[in-house]
Amino acid sequence: MDKLNLNPDILKSMMATGTVKRVTVVAGSAGFSLLVRAAGLQRPLTTFRGNVRAFKNLKTALHYLHSLGVTRFDVDISEYQP
């Protein structure tokens, strides 16, 4: 596995240890992705296969973040195309 991949299991582990400093939901043409900042690095959430995880809508991303215990996050809609 590429050590730059941040799959769901790694993100859960990082949340449990408190290493996640900031999460940004980024709107793009493929949907909404998550950028996670921890230990001075910012990486996108990926699937287990290594592709960037895209949520169909903001509500789905919100439910996922809530399930992880994330209570605050930023939203970047600068690239949003309705």
**28: CATH:** 3.30.2180
Residue 46 and residue 6 in contact, taking contact as beta carbons nearer than 8 Å: yes
Starting from the edge strand earliest in sequence, which strands make up the sheet with 31-38, in order? Answer: 41-44, 31-38, 20-28, 74-76
In a domain, 64, yes or no: yes
For 40, the domain range is: 8-76
In a domain, 82, yes or no: no
pLDDT digits (tens, 9 = 90+) for 63-81: 999 999 999 999 999 988 8
Q: Residue 27: is its pLDDT beyond 60?
A: yes
pTM given for the model: 0.89
